Amino acid sequence: MATLSASDSVDYVEQNDELITGEAVALDLRPAGFILRAGGAAIDVVVYLGGYVFGMFLFGLAAASLGVDEALARAIGIIGLILFVLVIPVTVEVLSHGKSLGKLAVGARIVRDDGGAIGLRHAAVRGLVALLEVYATLGGGALIAGLFNSRAKRVGDLLAGTYSQHERIAQIATPVYGVPLPLVEWARTADVARMPDALSRRIAHYLAQARGLSPETRVRLGRELASEASIYVSPLPAVDAELFLAAVASLRRDREFAALQLEQRRLERLTPVLRGLPHKFPQR
């Protein structure tokens, strides 16, 4: 996932949830879903209001012992409330470039509409509007706005030109396939060592993307790559082009891995000699 820094200036075109920069580079910027935003916001509200209540509890204990005037105590309570629901949240978002405890928990971050990091202006607008749509309406205003927006934006995001970006990417294990069964016997004696690395990478890329190609393109590219690879492979099996490429790629990968393991074992045997000291050389 690509993000832009606050200093980046980009002319962009928004297409659904993908941004196209002026250099025609697509940025995969995924907005956080409504449920994630609601969960992160709930955590933040609990933390900030909990901090305010705890702070006022400590102040109440101190005020009782010091005999603080009631009017002064109310003024300090109002200042404390503003501090915990506005000043601290805005400061946290600015210093962390769009993060907060709730956003860290759900894997989100507030960014500008062009994908860049937010500044003080963006955080201040969001914080001021949050007093009305989050605290005054108990989240009802943000709920209604988010339901009718494709990026789950609340009113503060619409006014500030920001949205919540989902940064947590699921790890997908890439499957590793062996030599196809019809070519297992062929692979025992096949020679693929002369194949250039560039061609081997093209074959691996084709096999990884084959499922997303149209049938005509898949067959045409497979035959072209098989024709190029055939001059470096001996003997040639009488099989389909894509099956031939899968066997060649798998065989080359397995043999290169075996060669690397052999080299590692040889280096391990030489380690005592390479790192050891000459006979009777003093330890210093």
Assign 3-class secondary structure to 38-85: HHHHHHHHHHHHHHHHHHHHHHHHHHHHHCCCHHHHHHHHHHHHHHHH
pLDDT average, residue stretch 196-219:
89
- pLDDT bin (cut points 50, 70, 90) of residue 59 is confident
pLDDT computed for residue 6 by the predictor: 38
pLDDT average, residue stretch 27-51:
86
For residue 2, pLDDT over 70 is answered with: no
For residue 22, pLDDT over 70 is answered with: no
List alpha helices for 67-154, DSSP H.
70-82, 88-95, 101-106, 120-130, 140-147
- Calculate what percentage of the chain has a pLDDT beyond 90: 37
Element (H, E) at 216: helix 215-230
Has this prediction a pTM greater than 0.85? Answer: no
* Least confident among 6-10, 96-100, 212-216, 267-271: 6-10
215-224: Cβ within 8 A, 24+ apart: 218/242
Residues 139-187: tens digit of each pLDDT: 888 888 888 888 889 999 999 999 998 887 666 666 677 888 888 899 8
Question: What span, in angstroms and rounded, lies between the C-alpha atoms of 33 and 10?
Answer: 25
pLDDT computed for residue 152 by the predictor: 86
pLDDT average, residue stretch 111-117:
86
pLDDT average, residue stretch 108-119:
88
Provide CB contacts within 8 A for 129, sequence distance 6+: 154, 155, 156, 159, 160
* Least confident among 107-116, 224-233, 272-281: 272-281
